Amino acid sequence: MRFPTRVALMAAAVALVATACEGWVTNLVGDERATAGVAPVTRNAYLNEQAVERSSAGCDAGQPQPVADAAAAYQGETAHAVAELTAAAPLDPTEPDPLRRQSAATWEIWQEWRHDPTVTDERWDALGVGGVTCDDTYYLTALFRQGPQMPDSGRYASLQHPVSQISEQLDVVYTSAVTSQGEEVDLALDLFFPPDVGDGDRPLVLVFHGGGFIQGDKADARGAARTYARTGYVAASVGYRLRPEESNLPLSQRIGAATDGIDDAMEAVRWSKANAETLGIDPERIAAVGFSAGGVIALGLSIADDPTPGGPLAAFEPDIAAGVATGVAWSISAPFVTNEPDDAPVLMFHFDVDPATGSTATIELATCESIRAAGNTCDFRVNPGEGHTVNFGPTSGLWAGDTGPFMYHHLRLDDLVARSDGG
C-alpha cells in the first residue's frame, strides 16, 4: 500500500482548514442576515469557484484585487446583480495550529465585513465564499448574487390567453434542403400567435422536438409552442431533417444528423428575421428551446456557427438571444462549434442519470463549464434521479424559478412590458 506523502497530507489539511473557514463565513453571513430580518442566501458552486479565483488573484498580486464591475466579471451564470467583498489578513506566525491561525485571520476580515450593507442587502439569493492561504497572508472573497428576475404574473411571465384566442398557421415552409439520401425536401414550421400581436415587438420562441434525429415531428412540439403563445410570445414548432437510417448508431455518433438539424434551425432563424415585420416579432429577441435531440439543436443554435453559411437569406444572421435545453448528450466536435464570448446564454436541465442517452449530469456539466470558460453564460440545473427530459415551459413547476426568469432576463422583456404599459 502506498501512503500519502507529507506534502499531500499538508495540502489536504490546508484544504480542510479553508473549507472550515469558508463554511464559518457562510454561517456568519446567515446570522447577520437573520438579525437584520432578511432572507438567507444559498451557497452556490459556481460562485464558490469564482471566489477562490479572486482570492488567488490577490495572492498573486500581493494584495486584494477587487473587480471594477462585478456583474460583468461573474457572468458565468445569469445574474441580475452581483456584489463582491474581498480582503486579506495576516496569519499569526506564533500560532502552531493551522485552523486557529486561519480562523483568527478570517475573524479579522469578518470584522471588516460584518457592518458592510452588502451583507444584509435583501436582494441576494446566492453566495459564494473562497479563501486562499498565501505565505503569511490569508485572502478571502465573498460574492453575493441576485438571480434573474421575473414578475409573478403578466405578459411573458404567466398564462395570459385561453387556447381559443391563439391563432395558428401550420405547415409554413421556411426553406428546402437535401436529405442524407440526396432528396430535396421542403422544411416547415407551425406558427402560434397571441392576440394583439400587431405591435411588432413580440419575442419569438422556436421549439424543437425530440426523437434522436431519427424520428419525431414538429407536431410533437405544437402543445409546447401553443403554451408559449398563451403567455404572450409568438412561437413556432420547427421541423428539421431526420436520418432514420442512423437508428443503429448510438446517439453520440449521430453527428451528421445533429449537424443537419442545427443547420436547418439556423435557416429557421434567418427566415424568422427576414419575416419579422409580418410575424410581429423583434428579431433581436429570439429564443430556442428543445427536448432531447431538439435540445441539442437549441444548444447548437446558441454556441455554434452556421455549418453551411450563405444562401438566399445570408443577409440575416442566425444568432439568437437565449437557448434552453433538456435531455442533451452534447458530443459534437466540429469546426463550427466555436464557444465564443458573444454566443447566446444557455440554460440546461439534466437528470443525475439519463438512461436514454447514457449520459450523466456530471458529464453534461462539463459542456456548461466549457461555455463559461469561453466567457459566456451557462446555467445548469440538475433534476434528481433518473430521467430524460423535463417540462420547463410556462405550465411547469420549473417556469417561475428557472426558465421564466432566464428568458425574461436575456430577452430583456422588462423593456417590452414597460413600453407596452406606456413606461
CA distance 124 to 80: 10
**What is the Rg, in whole angstroms, of the alpha carbon atoms belonging to the chain?**
24
Residues 54 and 141: beta-carbon distance below 8 Å: yes
CA distances from 343 to 203, 332, 378 (A): 18, 16, 10
Check whether 15 has a pLDDT greater than 80. Answer: no
Cell matching residue 90: 495576516
Query: Residue 22 is which amino acid?
Result: E
CA distance 73 to 411: 20
CA-closest candidate to residue 389, choices 359, 346, 351, 362: 351
CA-closest candidate to residue 128, choices 145, 116, 112: 145
Domains present along the chain, CATH in parentheses:
6-146 (3.40.33.10), 163-420 (3.40.50.1820)
Strand partners, 381: 349
Cell matching residue 52: 477562490
SS3 326: strand
| Percentage of the chain exceeding pLDDT 90 | 83
| Percentage of the chain exceeding pLDDT 70 | 92
Residue 28 phi/psi, 5° resolution?
Answer: -65, -40
Cell matching residue 416: 417590452
Are β-strands 184-193 and 234-238 bridged in parallel, bridged antiparallel, or unpaired? antiparallel
Which tens digits make up the pLDDT trace of 184-216? 999 999 999 999 765 678 999 999 999 999 999
Check whether 347 has a pLDDT greater than 80. Answer: yes
CA-closest candidate to residue 295, choices 269, 345, 258: 258
Residues 391 and 398: beta-carbon distance below 8 Å: yes
Ramachandran category for residue 154: left, alpha or beta (phi over 0 → left; psi -120 to 50 → alpha): left
Residues 348 and 379: beta-carbon distance below 8 Å: yes
CA distance 171 to 331: 31
Query: E strands of 50-166, at which residues?
Result: 81-90, 126-134, 137-146
| Alpha helices by DSSP H, 193-348 | 222-231, 255-274, 276-279, 293-303
Query: Which whole number is the average pLDDT over 4-12?
Result: 40
Query: Which whole number is the average pLDDT over 302-330?
Result: 93
Which tens digits make up the pLDDT trace of 141-177? 999 999 999 999 999 999 999 999 999 999 999 999 9
| pTM of the full structure | 0.92
pLDDT of residue 3: 42
Residues 91 and 136: beta-carbon distance below 8 Å: yes
**Matching residue, cell 469558508:** 22
Query: E strands of 147-246, at which residues?
Result: 167-178, 184-193, 202-208, 234-238
| Alpha helices by DSSP H, 37-126 | 45-61, 70-73, 98-113
